[in-house]
Amino acid sequence: MIPLLIGITIICFTVIHLAPGSPTDLQTNLNPKVSLEAKERLQSIYNLDKPLYQQYFMWIKKLAVLDFGNSFSSDQRPVLDKIVERLPITIAINVLSMILIMVVAIPIGVLSAVRQDSFFDKATSVFVFVGFAVPTFWLALLLMIFFGVRLDWLPISGIRSLNYEYLPPLSALWDLIKHLIMPVILSAFGGLAGLSRYMRANMLEVIRQDYITTARAKGLSERVVIYKHALRNALLPVITILGLSIPGLIGGSVIFETIYAIPGMGQLFYMSVMSRDYPLVMGVLFIGAVLTLLGNLIADVSYAVVDPRIRVS
Amino acid sequence: MKSDFWYRFLRNKMAVAGSVVVIFLFVISMLAPWIAPHDPSTINLKKVLSAPSGMHIFGTDQLGRDIFSRMIWGSRISLKVGFVATGLSILIGAILGALAGYYGRWVDAIIMRFVDIMLCFPSFFLILAVIAILEPSIWNIMIVIGLTSWMGITRLVRADFISLKERDFVQAAKVVGVSDFRIIFSHILPNAMASVLVAATLGVAGAILTESALSFLGIGVQPPTPSWGNILTAGKDNIDIAWWLSLYPGLAILITVLGYNLLGEGIRDSLDPRLRD
């Protein structure tokens, strides 16, 4: 955990220092009146005149107290504030889509394993293959054209309507839900295909185990065998898969938040990349990696909680 | 063994379908200058955003350029990015995986830790961050995608090496005094190529998807060079009037990626039918 964290900081630091020229060029290049001394002064304000390893340690010291520095953008606010105010919406959408993934993919996977080679099984495997291959941003466009423009059922950008503040609480909630439907479905889409395929493979493997044969042999009904004995064991590895899917979800938030103009961390990252706001880029990159690390940690711990075999070893 | 492979491969409908798509795309992109009905960059302001017709079967874009021709030329970009990026990730992945698996101990510990660290980054974040710094261009994109997608291959190659290095032919080579370098690259690595080939085919699909997403966001292949992703950007800008800009390039990406995925899975199933789920 700690070595990983250190590794993450080193990579973030290296990435930023790949930049040709100096970050201060952005502030000085457009201004022909800037003298060489002024440039050097600016360099020393940001400690850019020190050797790299010293810069790294200074950066780490600040990082330890979650100080990512100030944004280069015109508001010059602390990077941490900018991220924190946008984090909840991104996490909320990702959690919602994770729930959606589980609620939809697990029954699909189980059903297609139980009815192997049935029409349902074949249909889902087609869905899975297409799901793996479809570019989510394209799907987003199609959904926008269909539900947003043609049918005009769902709003296509933002998370609130303009008149949000004047709405009574219930319609305000409904307004929010309407804005979130498409983004949540989209961010879930890739995971849906993956998890249902995985769930099917798992279930097929479990069904072949001896203890399932035993359960059948002692005369339990097929229902009990499948849903009590098999399902519970097939569900275990799903935790790991959900943990592993976190980086994909967080990374994907750049795409759908940009398309749907959702003010979350992904959109912030996109904007910071476009405006070359290095402190902000580094901050989001770091937070994204730490979130992934935390997600994996939670997955490992909960795996140990539900599976006694892991606890023993 | 080889004929077994081809026998199973040719009887696998999905694998054959995948190969047909992949070969078709190769041919299209090679012949682009001859089969594209129009010049992909000729601007025609009289025909801005015209719907699909006999003259322009997929319609025209916001500058009146023929979408069908732009898509044919765009297939070159996809192919180039897919192969160069995957080639790079295989190069890195195979070397690191071979070293980790062959030498074990601290070499293994360091390399695998590095893999774990890289896997913590949402790869799209890492790619965007590097692109932000290096200026978007097709070469930078290929390199960055390659540099962020080698981890899976490293794990595969390492696992193969760990089991292969105990085998008799490796022990024999050691006894005869063959250098480590030759054992790794000419004795063991060829035996680990099967799983690498599968991973590479699936990797091409992934790289094509990533490139199109980057180009769509405006940080990939830069206009006026046509790429499937940046045609879709125009589709988003004209979402309420020109559906054809959004529909066809995405369909092309879908079919291409599907083709490579089917091919990769087909190769895996034919190499070792036991691996089928």
Tens digit of each residue's pLDDT (9 = 90 or more) over B72-89: 888 888 888 999 999 999
Using CA atoms, how far residue A134 sits from A93, A195, A251, B209, in Å, is: 20, 16, 16, 8
The two tokens of residue A5 are 């964290």
For residue B66, the cross-strand partners are B60
- Residue in chain A closest to B114 (alpha carbons) equals A7
- Closest partner residue to B128 (CB to CB) among A8, A156, A273 is A273
Residues in chain A: 313
* Tens digit of pLDDT at every position of chain A (313 positions): 788 888 888 888 888 777 665 556 655 656 666 666 776 776 676 666 677 777 788 878 877 777 777 777 777 788 788 888 888 888 888 888 888 988 888 888 888 888 878 888 888 888 888 888 888 888 888 888 888 777 777 777 777 766 667 777 777 777 778 888 888 888 888 788 888 888 888 888 888 888 888 888 888 777 777 887 788 878 887 887 777 778 888 888 888 888 888 888 888 888 888 887 777 888 888 888 888 888 888 888 887 777 777 666 5
- Closest partner residue to B129 (CB to CB) among A148, A252, A281 is A281
Q: Which amino acid is at B162?
A: I
A141 contacts in chain B (CB < 8 Å) = 232, 235-236, 239, 246, 250
Please report the pLDDT score of residue B185 as a whole number: 82
B202 contacts in chain A (CB < 8 Å) = none
Angle at A237 between CA A234 and CA A239, to 5 degrees: 120
* Tens digit of pLDDT at every position of chain B (277 positions): 567 778 887 888 888 888 999 999 989 888 878 887 777 777 777 777 777 777 777 777 777 788 888 888 888 888 889 999 999 999 999 899 888 888 878 888 889 988 988 888 888 888 888 887 777 788 888 888 998 889 888 988 888 888 888 788 878 887 887 788 888 888 888 887 888 888 888 889 989 998 888 888 888 888 788 888 888 888 788 877 777 888 888 889 999 999 998 888 888 878 765 555 4
Q: How far is A176 from chain B (nearest CA, A)?
A: 23
Q: CB under 8 Å to A133, separation ≥6 — which residues?
A: B205, B209, B254, B255, B257, B258, B261
- The DSSP-derived string for A127-178 is HHHHHHHS-HHHHHHHHIIIIIIIS--S--SSSS-TTGGGS-HHHHHHHHHH
The two tokens of residue A169 are 């609480």
A252 contacts in chain B (CB < 8 Å) = 124
Are B120 and A4 in contact (CB < 8 Å)? yes
Please report the pLDDT score of residue B277 as a whole number: 44
- Closest partner residue to B213 (CB to CB) among A204, A247, A255 is A255
Q: How far is B201 from chain A (nearest CA, A)?
A: 13
The two tokens of residue A279 are 């402190």
Q: How far is B120 from chain A (nearest CA, A)?
A: 5
Q: How far is A210 from chain B (nearest CA, A)?
A: 18
User: Residue A39 and residue A26: Cα distance in Å, rounded?
Assistant: 11
The two tokens of residue B234 are 């125009």
The two tokens of residue B185 are 């690259």
Q: How many CB pairs under 8 A join A and B?
A: 147
Are A11 and B121 in contact (CB < 8 Å)? yes
B106 touches chain A (CB under 8 A): no
B116 touches chain A (CB under 8 A): yes
- Closest partner residue to A252 (CB to CB) among B119, B124, B239 is B124
Are A254 and B117 in contact (CB < 8 Å)? no
User: Residue B162 and residue A108: Cα distance in Å, rounded?
Assistant: 37
φ, ψ (nearest 5 deg) of residue A211: -70, -20
Q: CB under 8 Å to B229, separation ≥6 — which residues?
A: B211, B212, B213, B214, B215, B216, B220, B221, B249, B253
Q: Mutating which of B124, B215, B222, B274 best tests the A interface, going by the most A Cβ atoms within 10 A? A: B124
User: Residue B261 and residue B274: Cα distance in Å, rounded?
Assistant: 19
